[in-house]
Amino acid sequence: MASVVPIETDVTPELPVTLTDINGTSVTVTDVSRIIALDLYGTLAQTVVGLGLGDNLVGRGSTNTMESMADLPVVTHDGHQLNGEAILALEPTIVLTDTSIGPREVQDQLRDSGVTVVFFEPQRTMDSVAEQITAVAEALGVEEAGVELADRSVAEIAQATADIAAMAPADAADKLRVAFLYVRGNGSVFFVLGEGSGADDLISSLGAVDIAAEAGIAGTKPANSEALLALNPDLVLVMSSGLESTGGLEGLLNRPGMSDTIAGQNRRVVDMNDGQILSFGPTTGAILRSLADAVYAPAELRP
């Protein structure tokens, strides 16, 4: 997984900071020497690294697969079901988190135990990247680095978007029609991500059409075979370990309905690391670029 290049390598947080977090709780941060950043997407930990405080991280979520964090203990199981004792054993001074991970009682237990817990916005969109980064920077007392990292991330996204505009078909009618499918295992965890899920934003940034949002699907809806056929995507985006868990490309194509879609017939499936694809953070510019390379790869280069 691509690492985030820290904006500075030697930052000195200016503390204490008092702020009101997204849940409306007033929080005073006095010590950021031992940080744990926990959210379903891995964005918060990426941001901490980007701000130059990566060395202060003492634990990571299962979605933080960045090389610089490889040695840290993983404190999440399946991306959720946090264990209060295990986290406290790492003696964090501050926990950055959001409601995408839980159970909520565990975060309350940490707060009750004297750990500073700061909640951030759980929604991820292309427009929230800068806001999220500056919010994290503010909480860690490194506002200046935050502004720089936010500017850099936004500039990278703008550059990637401009490059993609040159790759994607200009005519609206020729645009690639894409669906983001969330799949886990071979059971019923098979969803299509629609409007407001972040996938819509990602797909339109790739110069493609999110057919789920176009069809009026909001949030996460089960991807039954007829719905898939009705959507009939040209290309499908998935998360890598999700794809692996359902038996790879063949497993996904064997799902009812899949093989009859255009994407299924042309075997056009693009997968990316679970902890990156919907993270909307400091790596989003790079994510867009590599997704675009895969999505718009010339037919003869496709595997």
Partner 1 sequence: MSADVRQTGVSGVDAPAESIHPRSPAPPHHRARRLAITVAVLVILLAATVLGSAAVGQFPLTVAEILASIGRRLGLVSPDESARFADGALWNVRFPRIILGIIVGAALGIAGTLMQGMFGNPLAEPGVIGVSAGCAVGACSAIVFNITWLGEATVPVAAFVFGLLTTFAVYFLSRSTGRTQILTLVLTGIAINAVANALIALCVFLADTASREQIVFWQLGSLNGASWVAVGATLPFLVLGTVGALYSARKLDLLALGERQARHLGVNVERLRIIAIICVAILTSAAVAYAGIIAFVGLIIPHLLRLIVGPSHRVLIPASALGGALLISLADVLSRTLVPFADLPIGMFTALVGGPVFFLLMRRSLRSGSGLA
Of 91, 127, 131, 226, the one binding partner 1 by CB under 8 A: 91
Q: In one letter, which amino acid is 109?
A: Q
Segment contacting partner 1 by CB under 8 A, of 3-11, 76-84, 131-139, 154-162: 76-84
Q: Which tokens in the block code for residue 116?
A: 């500073």
Residue 75 as a binder of partner 1 (CB under 8 A): the answer is yes
How many C-beta atoms surround the C-beta of residue 174 within 10 A?
Answer: 8
- Nearest residue (CB) to partner 1, 34 versus 289: 34
Cβ 203 vs Cβ 232: under 8 Å: no
Can the peptide bond before residue 16 be classed as cis, meaning omega within 30 degrees of 0?
A: yes
**Range 116-145, binding partner 1 (CB under 8 A):** 122
Q: Which tokens in the block code for residue 56?
A: 């202060």
Of 14, 25, 70, 104, the one binding partner 1 by CB under 8 A: 104
Residues 6+ apart with CB under 8 A from 80: 40, 101, 102, 103
CA 204 – CA 63 distance, rounded (Å):
24
Whole-Å CA distances, 125 to 41, 129, 226, 249? 12, 7, 29, 28
Burial degree of 105 (CB within 10 A; 0-12, 13-18, 19+):
exposed
CA 137 – CA 134 distance, rounded (Å):
5
**Range 252-281, binding partner 1 (CB under 8 A):** none
Q: Which tokens in the block code for residue 68?
A: 């610089």
Query: Measuring CA to CA, which residue among 282, 297, 284 is closest to residue 8?
Result: 282
Residue 99 as a binder of partner 1 (CB under 8 A): the answer is yes
- Nearest residue (CB) to partner 1, 79 versus 264: 79
**Range 210-249, binding partner 1 (CB under 8 A):** 219-220
Of 71, 85, 250, 300, the one binding partner 1 by CB under 8 A: 85
Of 108, 127, 226, 260, the one binding partner 1 by CB under 8 A: 108
Residue 86 as a binder of partner 1 (CB under 8 A): the answer is yes
Residue 73 as a binder of partner 1 (CB under 8 A): the answer is yes
Segment contacting partner 1 by CB under 8 A, of 68-76, 132-140, 238-246, 269-277: 68-76
Residue 103 as a binder of partner 1 (CB under 8 A): the answer is yes
Question: Phi and psi for 143 in degrees, rounded to 5?
Answer: -55, -40
Of 8, 23, 102, 297, the one binding partner 1 by CB under 8 A: 102
Of 33, 77, 226, 265, the one binding partner 1 by CB under 8 A: 77
How many C-beta atoms surround the C-beta of residue 289 within 10 A?
Answer: 17
- Nearest residue (CB) to partner 1, 220 versus 232: 220
Segment contacting partner 1 by CB under 8 A, of 47-55, 105-113, 176-184, 291-299: 105-113
Cβ 98 vs Cβ 39: under 8 Å: yes
Segment contacting partner 1 by CB under 8 A, of 25-33, 72-80, 137-145, 265-273: 72-80
The number of helices, as runs of H, and strands, as runs of E, in the chain is 13, 12
Segment contacting partner 1 by CB under 8 A, of 42-50, 110-118, 141-149, 270-278: 110-118
Query: Closest distance between partner 1 and the C-beta of residue 266, in Å?
Result: 32
74 membership: H or E segment, kind and range: none
Binding positions for partner 1, rule: CB under 8 A: 73-77, 80-81, 83-86, 88-89, 91, 99-100, 102-106, 108-110, 112-115, 122, 219-220
